[in-house]
Structure 1
Amino acid sequence: MRILHTADWHLGKTLEGRSRFSEQEQFIDELVTIVEKERVDAVLIAGDAFDSVNPPALAEQLFYESLARLSDYGKRPVIVIAGNHDHPDRLSAAATLAAKHSITLLGLPTTDVQAIYVPSCDETLMLAALPYPSESRLAELLSSENDERLLRERYDEKVRGIFAMMNESFRHDTVNVAMSHLYVAGGATSDSERPIEMGGAYTVSPESFPSQAQYVALGHLHRPQYVKHAAMPARYSGSPLAYSFSEVGYSKSVTIVDVRPKEQAIISEIPLSCGRPLVKWKATEGIAQVYRWIEEGKDRNAWIDLEIDVEHSLPIEEIHRLRKLYDGFVNIRPNYLTKEEIKTEARSNVPIETLFERFYERQTGGAKPTAELVQLFLELLVDEDEDGDEE
């Protein structure tokens, strides 16, 4: 059986108010192409299909259209669980209708194991699917005491108990997989994940996974990564797009799982090319350096977090001009250099004439000083040093 594991689509999410909808559409197109090209037998979506419990209509429309395409209109099983961003009841509202098209929508945690026949490989997938297990969704108060350590222990025990009951349904003649949306201790996070744990309390240990699972498909963390110390391959597929500048440099992908009954799963990644990358610009030479980068076409298709070193305030007209020249600027932050920083820079190994040229460019909006002007500056500097020595 060949399974594709993805998660954290966050349909409807914006970047500082900028729409990512066209990028999300690109992702769905790329995902459908991968599923068809790789001859995927079943698709697992491990939570956070949406970015909010009340997603915009366009996001919902894209979601249901994507499920229809991924299932090949009923020929390929697709299983979706609710994440912490999804409304569990809203996600599962269409479950009865979706089931007729081989689509399983699971909103609230249960101990039921999904037995899913996969016709393309003539195998049965036993899926221990656990949607986001918060206290409210579990309908259980885990601890009445304000003790983080105790709450963490109770939460881990609860999740472990659920998986243990599910584990009893696994069989030797089926493909046995677990899927959940939660935070496993030790995972690498980013700023775009709204924490599902309070101070680290809502975490589980890798030992809590069902022991007979051949693979554990996880959602919530946006960086693709394996879970350390798990007894079986356990993995976060990561988000398909970078959703915060803390994710700069992350390579995005989907996970492919090849597995047969009673055999070890073989895991591989397929990189994604959709969406605009997120990059950070640090203009240490001032505004002139930014204009030079724009003229060169640097990171032309990216969303940019820009920081500019300046000695004086950056006029709002200048910021508007930058945004008009390039629509990719998300943040434009002036970094005001203090006198001490300027002195420190001057004491560095950068030649003094180079520092003067940078200063001149910043003050004039990009003009280059003439050789005569640079020479005059150096002569004045020498004269000042000599006057200082006389004192």
Structure 2
Amino acid sequence: MKALHTSDWHLGRTLQRRSRDAEFDAVLAEITAIAERVQPDLIVHSGDLFDSYRPAHKDVLRAMRCLNGLARIAPTVVLGGNHDSPELFDLLNYVCTLRPDADQGRLRFVHSRGDSDPGTVLDFDSRDGHERIRLAALPYVHPNRYLHLFPGFGTTEGAYAAGLRELQDGLLTRLRDGYDPGRDVLLFTAHQYVASAVPAQSERMWEVREPYATDPDALPQVAYCALGHIHKPQPVGTGRLPARYAGSPLQMDFGESGETKSVTVVEAEPGRRTLITPHTLHSGRRLEHFQGTLDELQADAARYSGVYLKAVIHSDEPILQLGDKVADLVPEAVLVAVEENCAATRASVLTGADAADDSQLDVTAVFSSYLAETGTPGQRADEVVASFANLLSAPDPVPPACAAEQLLSKALASPWTDAARGGTETAS
């Protein structure tokens, strides 16, 4: 049995308002070519098909054209991620019912609204019919919905992970129902953050924090765990389980600079060890950082041909029209940001010694010296310094208490007791 695992396409993603449509078209064509060459029995997309809950029509069309092409090669399952809309997946599932091969389930979208058990188990036959592939699919469960699913877990840290583990255990029970060890290959796919994974820093960072991390030891014991959510391609855990994040197909942001993108091909047979092979993707532009002088950038300019570039230029004195000069040195790069790290204008960091001498510091005199250095005319500088001194010496006005504050102060002055309800307060 062969499976192709891809994830986190984030169709519609831009870079500093720059369209990446051409890159998406190229990398999706590359993924399709790999699938054509490998001829997998199943294709799994582990979530975040789109970058937005409301993707542009062109991005929906781009997704469906590619997924239809993949589905002609092998049955294809798309899992709902935290960026994907369940309602849109409902629509796409309906569109799939209009396909000529709808009865074969060649293209399926699996999602959860969080108001019911979100997981599902799907069965597929291998091309030669000798094996049955059983896939347990767990789409993203939003933290603000898990209490509805797991009311007994409370809101303490780790409750979310405990709830997900219960879902996984339930799915594993269903996965093993009727399991034939001589024929069945068990797979699991989920869109979640596993504690040992290394984020690329381009994800929504509040969703890849420890309170939302699941234990890698809690992953189901199956032939392969196809994970989505983290953009950096990587294996998960200690290697005891064949589990992997396929990662995003493009470098989505500068947090992914230097990463090699890939899709994963999985080969598994009943009773044999799983073979995992990443296939490198080459279509996307690289995202690169540069720090150094203009001379150093000129010497290394060839390296930045065709990349998205963030440049920090070091200098002793301010450089006029710095952006134009950088653009002239690397004409084949797409400049995303240019910053200057100038020694003459660099602010010094205060130390503990500065704080100790603060009582002896004449702030007005320092401000007056600053105005003189910047060339502020004498009379105007005197007026500004006088205004500054008045501001320093004037006490901050105390704003009147608002109505809510007055009510709170009154309540604190007369605390609630049983006597307020007509009872008698008892002293112990």
User: What's the TM-score bracket when you normalise by the shorter of the two chains?
Assistant: 0.7 to 0.9
Distance 2:119 2:297 in 1: 56
Match of 1:238 among 230, 239, 247: 247
Which amino acid letter does the alignment assign opposite residue 105 of structure 1?
Answer: F
2:157 is equivalent to residue 148 of structure 1? yes
Give the aligned partner of residue 304 of structure 1. 309
Match of 1:336 among 342, 358, 363: 342
Alignment of 1:128-147 (within 5 A): 128-136=136-144, 138=146, 139-140=148-149, 147=156
TM-superposed CA distance for 1:276, in Å, is 0.6
TM-superposed CA distance for 1:136, in Å, is 4.6
Residues 203-244 of structure 1: CA distance to partner in whole angstroms, max 9, x if unpaired?
Answer: 111222223x11100001111111113642011111111112
Alignment of 1:224-373 (within 5 A): 224-229=233-238, 231-283=240-292, 285=293, 287-291=294-298, 293-294=300-301, 297-315=302-320, 317-320=321-324, 322-323=326-327, 325-326=331-332, 328-337=334-343
Give the aligned partner of residue 111 of structure 2. 107
Distance 1:69 1:335 in 2: 49
Give the aligned partner of residue 24 of structure 2. 24
Give the aligned partner of residue 5 of structure 2. 5
Residues 182/335 of structure 1: CA separation in 2 closer, same or farther (3 Å cut): same
Distance 1:104 1:196 in 2: 29
Which amino acid letter does the alignment assign opposite residue 12 of structure 1?
Answer: G
Which amino acid letter does the alignment assign opposite residue 126 of structure 1?
Answer: R
Distance 2:23 2:195 in 1: 31
Distance 1:275 1:111 in 2: 33
Residues 160/106 of structure 1: CA separation in 2 closer, same or farther (3 Å cut): closer
Give the aligned partner of residue 384 of structure 1. none
Structure with higher Rg: it is 2
Contact 2:233 2:261 in 1 (8 A): yes
Contact 2:136 2:172 in 1 (8 A): no
TM-superposed CA distance for 1:165, in Å, is 3.2
Residues 303/332 of structure 1: CA separation in 2 closer, same or farther (3 Å cut): same
TM-score by length of 1: 0.77
Contact 2:143 2:160 in 1 (8 A): no
Distance 2:317 2:194 in 1: 46
TM-superposed CA distance for 1:202, in Å, is 1.2
Greater Cα shift, 177-186 or 253-262 = 253-262
Contact 2:153 2:162 in 1 (8 A): no
Any unmatched runs of 5+ in structure 2?
A: 349-428
Distance 1:269 1:38 in 2: 12
Distance 1:312 1:162 in 2: 65
Give the aligned partner of residue 176 of structure 1. 186
Q: Report SS of the residue matched to 1:83.
A: coil
Residues 301/166 of structure 1: CA separation in 2 closer, same or farther (3 Å cut): farther
Give the count of matched residue pairs.
Answer: 333
Residues 16/79 of structure 1: CA separation in 2 closer, same or farther (3 Å cut): same
Residues 231-279 of structure 1: CA distance to partner in whole angstroms, max 9, x if unpaired?
Answer: 4201111111111212222111111101123332111111111111111
TM-superposed CA distance for 1:195, in Å, is 3.2
Contact 1:206 1:230 in 2 (8 A): no
Which amino acid letter does the alignment assign opposite residue 341 of structure 2?
Answer: N
Q: Report SS of the residue matched to 1:260.
A: coil
Distance 1:144 1:168 in 2: 26
Distance 1:116 1:269 in 2: 23
Distance 2:173 2:206 in 1: 24
Q: Report SS of the residue matched to 1:166.
A: helix
Q: Report SS of the residue matched to 2:31.
A: helix
TM-superposed CA distance for 1:21, in Å, is 1.2
Distance 1:330 1:84 in 2: 27
Contact 1:175 1:262 in 2 (8 A): no
Residues 37/154 of structure 1: CA separation in 2 closer, same or farther (3 Å cut): closer
Which amino acid letter does the alignment assign opposite residue 215 of structure 2?
Answer: S
Residues 102-124 of structure 1: CA distance to partner in whole angstroms, max 9, x if unpaired?
Answer: 10111116243111234455532
TM-superposed CA distance for 1:2, in Å, is 0.9
Identity of aligned residues (%): 27
Give the aligned partner of residue 161 of structure 1. 169
Distance 2:191 2:18 in 1: 27
Distance 1:225 1:58 in 2: 30
TM-superposed CA distance for 1:312, in Å, is 3.8
Which amino acid letter does the alignment assign opposite residue 87 of structure 1?
Answer: S
TM-score by length of 2: 0.71
Distance 2:313 2:71 in 1: 48
Which amino acid letter does the alignment assign opposite residue 307 of structure 1?
Answer: V
TM-superposed CA distance for 1:134, in Å, is 2.0
Contact 2:217 2:237 in 1 (8 A): no
Distance 1:143 1:197 in 2: 22
TM-superposed CA distance for 1:12, in Å, is 0.6
Contact 2:120 2:171 in 1 (8 A): no
